[in-house]
Amino acid sequence: MRLGVLGWPVAHSRSPAMHTAAFAALGLVGWRYQRLPVPPEAFAETVRALPAAGFAGANVTVPHKEAALALADSASDDARAIGAANTLTFGPHGTIHADNTDAPGLLDALPEPPGGRTALVLGAGGSARAAAHALSRAGARVAVHNRTAARAHALADDLGVTAVDGPTAADILVNCTTVGLQDPEATPVADLKPYGTVVDLVYRPGGTALANAARAAGLPTVDGLEILVRQGARSLEIWTGREAPLDAMRLAAADG
């Protein structure tokens, strides 16, 4: 059985190591998971060719999450509400079903329920849409900020949350931008005093500047590796029907 992760770039992804460890822990012999680097212009053609190549499904990361939903023949309610998909499952005759495990994965990773709290989501891509949807559905009051204001307002209008012109104080800060992915010193916010829990979807060796600063300040911190594990666990359960071995996945993701 073949699975993989579609992205551009995708060389940094730790999903192959994480899922390979999960297959071993579950005794799934012959299952393989690989990186699938695909530029945007080749995404649709590549995805449609995967079932014939023996793939049962695939994860989807930046910048393809919205395109993945548009390509699907069917989709979960979450994926449709969010407008983006990160998990594809291939059915008979090459049909494509889209799910979004980013949303429940984020909630799984939070140290406490977000209901009744305020949240600031940074970004306006597929991951930001998932975060805003999940937090809002869980009862948080959600604001969204993006450097391109029009994208933040479009997201807010679609999901019934609020767009703001700059970083505002919140109980929960969620970074869904790529800031920190390439530059270890880059951070999307300069001051963490207005925030409580800090969530950074970016992961890199040694941690991001945002996550490291949050930990140094004593703030509850969820890093990109834990988010990766939680959304990956949800995807694995969709594909296999088995409970995901979180500890094995977490250890493999940390080791790279």
Helix, strand, coil share (%) of the chain residues, nearest 5: 40, 20, 40
- State the Cα–Cα distance between residues 241 and 89, nearest whole angstrom: 12
25 exposed, middle or buried (CB, 10 Å; 0-12, 13-18, 19+)? Answer: middle
Q: Which domains does the chain have, with CATH numbers?
A: 2-100+227-255 (3.40.50.10860), 112-219 (3.40.50.720)
User: Which residues on adjacent β-strands are paired with residue 118?
Assistant: 141
Cis omega (within 30 of 0) for bond into 113: no
Give pLDDT, residue 112.
95
- pLDDT per residue as tens digits for the range 208-247: 999 999 999 999 999 999 999 999 999 999 999 999 999 9
Residue 65 is a catalytic residue:
yes
Mean pLDDT on 49-55: 97
Report the predicted TM-score, pTM, of the whole model to 2 decimal places.
0.93
- Of the pLDDT bands very low, low, confident and very high (cuts 50, 70, 90), residue 181 is confident
Q: Which is catalytic among the residues 65, 117, 204, 250?
A: 65
- pLDDT per residue as tens digits for the range 102-135: 999 999 999 999 999 999 999 999 899 999 999 9
